[in-house]
Amino acid sequence: AQKVTQAQTEISVVEKEDVTLDCVYETRDTTYYLFWYKQPPSGELVFLIRRNSFDEQNEISGRYSWNFQKSTSSFNFTITASQVVDSAVYFCALKNPRSGNEKLTFGTGTRLTIIP
């Protein structure tokens, strides 16, 4: 069975502070993909990043960075110098590509509020 845990339900930080969103996953598969999505108030899930299980390199995209550690089954997401536009609910998700289908298993999400 697959499971994604986002222990932080809600986080509030003051603008320009750095913030890290935690994601811990469980899977028996050796091949899998991890994702982060952002859900603004409009409701649409916006794709942020995909990482496969064989690539543990950290990734940086502007103010966003991701730290993937297989040893701790974690895929954490850091926003540097946060901005009010970063306020949203963020979801971590897991997919088993060998299942032959597209099913994503989501965490419960972390609501991030950036205080101006």
Partner 1 sequence: KAGVTQTPRYLIKTRGQQVTLSCSPISGHRSVSWYQQTPGQGLQFLFEYFSETQRNKGNFPGRFSGRQFSNSRSEMNVSTLELGDSALYLCASSVSLIGGGGTVQNIQYFGAGTRLSVL
Neighbouring CB atoms inside 10 A of 26's CB total 12
To 5 degrees, how large is the angle CA 60–CA 43–CA 12? 60
Which region among 11-19, 54-62, 66-74, 103-111 touches partner 1 (by CB under 8 A)? 103-111
Residues from 28 through 87 that contact partner 1 (CB under 8 A):
31, 33, 35, 37, 42-47, 50, 52
Q: Is 100 in the site for partner 1 (CB under 8 A)?
A: yes
Q: Is 98 in the site for partner 1 (CB under 8 A)?
A: yes
Nearest distance in Å: CB 75, partner 1: 16
- Rounded to whole angstroms, the Cα distance separating 37 from 15 reads 21
Cβ neighbourhood burial of 23 (10 Å; 0-12, 13-18, 19+): buried
Chain residues in the site for partner 1 (CB under 8 A): 31, 33, 35, 37, 42-47, 50, 52, 91, 95, 97-109
